[in-house]
Amino acid sequence: MKQTNAEMAGDKLDEYLLISEITGGDKELFRIFVQRYEQKVFALGMSFFHNADDALDFTQEVFIKAFRSLKDFEGRSRFSTWLFKIAYNTAVNAVNRNKEYHSLAEEEVSATEETEQSVMHRLTQDAVRSAVENLPSRYRVCVDLFFFYGCSYKEIEVITEFPVNTIKSHVFRAKKILRKKLVDFQGEV
């Protein structure tokens, strides 16, 4: 569910007040940001590192960097956008240049009882996962941030430093590729 402009403005004001309190000396309040964003940062870490231990280390590193840099937060974007930029850059810098981005859509699906509906659901998830997995990595990161994290094009621009038009193009092309692959899958079932 999308927030209204008034709600976003209220959230941003709350963030500024919280940041002001933290930088003013009440460092314990930073835990609010950790609680708010820990799962999303961890999920991004899983996308890059593929295992929980590395993703946990990554999450801790991101929040330490954010805490140390909080005084530099200028408020030109939402705190979450600033945090995800730190996370994205940390992950990109940490990953071996030869490794590619691993989409959240590639996560393993846990086994459930095999009713016809659950089999169809699993096959559909597998098809989506496979289709997303085969996208070029620059498309996958934009698709993940847009669809799985709910980031706007502007937020993705801040996080990835791709121009907005490039992001729009990547998402558009990715949707076109996914649509074709999923139509092909539907014909197979």
> Is a pLDDT exceeding 90 seen at residue 113?
no
Mean pLDDT of the chain: 78
CATH class of domain segment(s) 1-99 = mainly alpha
pLDDT tens digits, one per residue of 122-140? 666 666 667 777 788 888 8
The least confident of 4-18, 35-49, 76-90 is: 4-18
- How far apart CA 44 and CA 102 sit, in angstroms, is 9
Delimit the domains of the chain by residue range: 1-99, 105-189
DSSP 97: T
CATH class of domain segment(s) 105-189 = mainly alpha
* 2-13 b/e (C-beta count within 10 Å ≥ 16 → b): eeeeeeeeeeee
Query: Two tokens at 1?
Result: 């569910």
Confidence of residue 110 (pLDDT cuts 50, 70, 90): very low
Judged by phi (left if over 0) then psi (alpha if -120 to 50, else beta), residue 151 lies in beta
Report yes or no: 139 and 150 within 8 Å, Cβ to Cβ.
Answer: no
Residue 139: φ, ψ to 5°:
-75, -45
pLDDT tens digits, one per residue of 141-167? 888 888 777 888 998 998 888 999 999
Query: Two tokens at 142?
Result: 């934009």
pLDDT tens digits, one per residue of 18-46? 888 988 888 898 999 999 999 999 988 88
Q: What's the confidence (pLDDT) of residue 151?
A: 85
